[in-house]
Amino acid sequence: MTFSTWFAFLIAACVIAISPGSGAVLSMSHGLNYGVKKASTTILGLQAGLLLILAIAGAGVGSILLASEFAFNIVKIVGALYLIYLGFNQWRARVEVVKEEEKNLTLTQLPTARRRFLTGFFTNTTNPKGIIFMVAVLPQFISHDAPLLPQLCILGVTMCGVDLIVMHSYAYAASTMQRYFSDPRWLKSQNRFFGGILMAIGAALFFVKRSPSN
């Protein structure tokens, strides 16, 4: 892989990572609710999902999903329903007041690290847009004259490195607003805001079309 090819992929990865999507919304939501440190577990789950999609695309399975309308629709429906489920849970998340060092802190009930990781993982692995990106864009940066595995490793490290920085930036930006949400009513409002966005993204996935087969 030449430097120019890698740099072009780096630019593409930056554009995709910065573009608002379910991963960005989830990172902001968890950053605001739990802080950057706790949101890091969610973001690691997002990266694990990206790597799985990368492996699927590299193995050619992604091409099958795009070629088969039935298979693609199954992935699309599962992804849409999962995001709607996440949004609904965020919408109705319980808010509680915890007394800590003689201060009343308003917190959303913290899920376990395992649950946060799996939430991030399934958010990316059930996103058909991610599969479309990998299958349609990834081959443009792979040389058929060189071994596949090293190239996939380079692209995977690059993609996850960029996404880690961007998602943590989203989480940090959201976490800086925590002090403005110490009131239970405000916290409930932001839960409903992010929950509504996740449900809207999930609903929008129902309208995603697969690439026409040649």
Q: Is residue 114 part of a domain?
A: yes
Question: Could you give the angle at which helices 36-59 and 148-175 cross, rounded to 10 degrees?
Answer: 150
Q: Is residue 211 part of a domain?
A: no
CA distance 61 to 34: 36
Query: Strand, coil or helix: what is 31?
Result: helix
How many domains is the chain built from? 1
Q: What pLDDT does 183 receive?
A: 60
Inter-CA distances, 85 with 73, 167, 200, Å: 18, 21, 11
Q: Which helix (H) or strand (E) holds 211?
A: none
Q: Is residue 213 part of a domain?
A: no
> Residue 93 carries which side chain, given as an amino acid letter?
A
Q: Is residue 214 part of a domain?
A: no
Rg (CA), the chain: 19
Q: What pLDDT does 76 receive?
A: 73
Q: Which residues contact 74 (CB under 8 A, 6 or more apart)?
A: none
Q: What pLDDT does 166 receive?
A: 93
In tens digits, the chain (214 residues) has pLDDT values of: 788 889 888 988 887 788 777 888 899 888 988 889 999 999 999 999 999 888 877 776 656 665 677 767 776 787 678 778 777 877 776 655 444 443 444 455 678 899 999 999 998 888 766 776 676 667 677 776 778 788 889 989 999 999 999 999 999 988 887 666 556 676 677 677 777 877 887 787 677 665 555 4
Q: Is residue 210 part of a domain?
A: no
Structure tokens at 92: 């109705």
Q: What pLDDT does 103 receive?
A: 41
CA distance 184 to 187: 5
Q: What pLDDT does 146 receive?
A: 79
List the domain range (segments joined by +) for residue 66. 3-14+21-205
Q: Is residue 81 part of a domain?
A: yes
Structure tokens at 186: 């405000």
Q: What pLDDT does 115 receive?
A: 92
Q: What pLDDT does 43 receive?
A: 96
Q: What pLDDT does 187 receive?
A: 67
Q: Is residue 79 part of a domain?
A: yes
